[in-house]
Amino acid sequence: MKSSKLLPGAMAILTLSACYSATSDDFTPVSLPSHISETARQQVKYSLNDPDSAQFRNIRGFSFSGPGGGYVVCGEVNGRNRVGGYAGFQPFRTNVGNAQSSGNVYINDLPAVSLPC
């Protein structure tokens, strides 16, 4: 009986946390710890056709104070395409250390150039 009374409350909390929309107040520019920077690079490399060819520039980091916490890492990446030529630097964004969305990598996509990047 008690669990049936708790279920609606638990469902409401889960629903509200799923609807969270980040704002600029949730992000604070930080100097990235080396392990966070390296993890972000590995995540981005994994999404490329030729991971060993990755070149990075303009890497910036933000701590995220929203649900799950963690870091957002932004920058630009260049890598070889399927033909073997470099495609040119493209914006990227990835989340590191956030249990809810760690590992999401966006390259040259709207989320790659949106808040906070």
Asked if pLDDT for residue 10 goes beyond 60, the answer is no
Asked if pLDDT for residue 114 goes beyond 90, the answer is no
Return the number of other C-beta atoms located less than 10 Å from residue 65's C-beta. 13
Indicate the CATH number for domain 23-113.
Answer: 3.10.450
Angle at 85 between CA 36 and CA 76, to 5 degrees: 30
DSSP category for residue 42: H
Q: What would you measure as the largest C-alpha separation in the chain, in angstroms? A: 65
- Give residue 19's pLDDT band: very low, low, confident or very high (50, 70, 90): low
The residue that leads in pLDDT, 21 or 60, is 60
Kindly tell me the sign of the dihedral angle through the C-alpha atoms of 8, 9, 10, 13: positive
Q: Which segment, 6-10, 60-64, 68-72, 113-117, is predicted with the most confidence on average? A: 60-64
Residues 48-54, mean pLDDT to the nearest whole number: 95
